[in-house]
């Protein structure tokens, strides 16, 4: 049984169909890539999985139970945590307090010594222990992305959704990030669903890849299979599909 199962999900915004009859499975323990050109529906699908958006049609199951009756504020407790494409943090709060917000969803009282110690450990793990008492405002984008990751990790998720983690990183940093995501998966016993435009990163670490284009799923497979798929090549090159 897949850890996450998305079945025939559609989400519209007025006349725009952001995702259209999309189905995909994410197996426990895998790193799975979700790719597609701009506007393909990737972030919308993340927002549906985390229940920020209600699907117009379809079903979502996590660990064998529907997610459709779980309100957004209970999603983390179900075992799903995420980062955001453009970073969503409390900018006037310290880095540590932002991370404690992630712990709040799991543990009470969330300011206890043990929870704070765990938050410090996770900040150390993601490499930003020195920033614990700094306000989030003013920190670099790369550091803020790590704060978000730490906030997600202290919530002890089974499934981690990463939305463009390579955004703003240079070539060497992207290469380190790939190694880091693999280590993260192993150390925290995670399943990872990754939205990313950096093809080198996705192809290097994902075991399975799903491809969206104009809201529809056009391909799925191993990185090799997806890279050879004509529909995927056409979507990325913007070519007209070949006549049937």
DSSP state for residue 243 in the 8-state scheme: P
* DSSP-assigned letters across all residues of 56-84: SEEEEEETTEESTTS-GGGHHHHTEEE--
Give me the least distance between CB of 120 and ligand ATP, in Å please: 33
Give me the least distance between CB of 30 and ligand ATP, in Å please: 21
Output phi, psi for 28, to 5 deg: -55, 135
Structure tokens given for 144: 């803020």
Kindly give the interhelix angle for 95-104 and 141-154, rounded to the nearest 10 degrees: 30
Position 50 contacts ligand ATP (CB under 6 A): no
Taking CB under 6 A as the criterion, which residues in 67-106 touch ligand ATP? 85
Give me the least distance between CB of 206 and ligand ATP, in Å please: 16
Closer CB to ligand ATP, 151 or 210, in the complex: 210
Number of residues lying near ligand ATP (CB under 6 A): 12
Q: Which residues of 202-224 are buried (b: 16+ CB within 10 A; e: fewer)?
A: bbbbbebbbbbbebbbbbbeebe
Among 37-45, 97-105, 150-158, 226-234, which window interacts with ligand ATP (CB under 6 A)? 37-45
CA contacts within 13 A on the Cβ side of 213: 16
Give me the least distance between CB of 128 and ligand ATP, in Å please: 25
Among 31, 32, 41, 136, binds ligand ATP (CB under 6 A): 41
- By CB under 6 A, name the binding residues for ligand ATP: 13, 16, 18, 36, 38-44, 85
């Amino acid at each position: 049984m897949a850890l996450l199962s998305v079945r025939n999900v559609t989400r519209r915004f007025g006349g725009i169909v952001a995702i259209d009859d999309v189905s995909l499975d994410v197996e426990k323990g895998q790193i799975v890539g979700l790719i597609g050109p701009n506007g393909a529906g990737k972030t919308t699908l993340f927002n549906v999985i985390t229940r920020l958006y209600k699907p117009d049609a379809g079903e979502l199951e996590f660990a064998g139970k529907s997610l459709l009756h779980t309100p957004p504020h209970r999603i983390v407790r179900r075992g799903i945590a995420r980062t955001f494409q453009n970073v969503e943090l409390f900018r006037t709060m310290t880095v540590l307090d932002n991370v404690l917000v992630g712990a709040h969803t799991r543990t009470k009282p969330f300011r206890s010594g043990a929870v704070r110690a765990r938050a410090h450990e996770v900040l150390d793990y993601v490499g930003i222990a020195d920033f614990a008492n700094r306000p989030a405002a003013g920190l670099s984008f790369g550091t803020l992305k790590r704060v978000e990751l730490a906030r997600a990790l202290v919530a002890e998720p089974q499934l981690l959704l990463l939305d463009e983690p390579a955004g703003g990183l240079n070539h060497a940093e992207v290469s380190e990030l790939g190694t880091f995501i693999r280590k993260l998966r192993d150390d925290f016993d995670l399943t990872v669903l990754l939205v990313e435009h950096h093809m080198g990163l996705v192809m290097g670490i994902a075991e399975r890849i799903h491809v969206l284009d104009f809201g529809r799923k056009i391909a799925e497979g191993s990185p090799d299979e997806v890279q050879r798929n004509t529909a995927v090549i056409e979507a990325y090159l913007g070519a007209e599909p070949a006549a049937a």
